């Protein structure tokens, strides 16, 4: 009887260790958990065009940082930090309140290394052109080079008044098409 009890305990212990190993293998890393939490705490981004996985995630994070008023988080998305802090402050001041409402991102170009994106803020009617691209560290980020508040809030002259109005371009730059 004692031998049977020891075997049962051993089997139970082995099962617990195996289950713990499986659960540890399924656990999310911090980045994934942060993204999932951000996703569930914000309005979904409406998308037009053909983003890459990297450009889509970067633009989504940018809209979340705008909505949260998180200038440091937005500046952290910069591919070059020379003017990132000032630009992030300008963008949050200009578009932060509007980013809490519905936002549509219209993705242009093919997106393997860079994509021009036009953000349409439904509640305010504001329109903002941004650029997502791969930086020197081979990760996606944003070009944050608008330290002048007037430049930061300027509406793009080439963009259609509504998302998808001219269709996403697959070649050339938005100003060329």
Instruction: Write out pLDDT tens, residues 103-144.
Output: 999 999 888 999 999 999 999 999 999 999 999 889 999 999
What is d(CA 69, CA 49) in angstroms, rounded to the nearest whole number?
27
Side-chain half-sphere exposure of 117, counting CA atoms within 13 A = 33
Q: In the 8-state DSSP scheme, what is residue 46?
A: E
Average pLDDT, the chain: 82
Distance CA 30, CA 15 (A): 27
This prediction has a pTM of 0.76
């Amino acid at each position: 009887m004692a031998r049977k009890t020891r075997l049962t305990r051993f089997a139970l212990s082995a099962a617990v260790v195996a289950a713990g190993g499986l659960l540890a293998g399924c656990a999310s890393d911090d980045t994934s958990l942060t993204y999932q939490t951000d996703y569930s705490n914000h309005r979904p981004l409406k998308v037009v065009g053909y983003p890459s996985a990297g450009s889509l995630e970067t633009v989504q994070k940018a809209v979340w940082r705008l909505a949260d008023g998180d200038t440091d988080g937005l500046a952290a998305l910069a591919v070059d930090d020379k003017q990132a802090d000032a630009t992030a402050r300008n963008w949050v001041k200009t578009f932060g309140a509007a980013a809490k409402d519905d936002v549509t991102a219209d993705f242009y170009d093919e997106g393997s290394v860079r994509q021009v994106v036009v953000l349409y803020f439904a509640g305010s009617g504001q329109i903002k052109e941004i650029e997502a691209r791969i930086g020197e560290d081979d990760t996606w980020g944003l070009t944050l080079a608008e330290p002048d508040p007037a430049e930061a809030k300027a509406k793009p002259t080439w963009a259609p008044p509504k998302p998808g109005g001219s269709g996403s371009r697959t070649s050339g730059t938005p100003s060329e098409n």
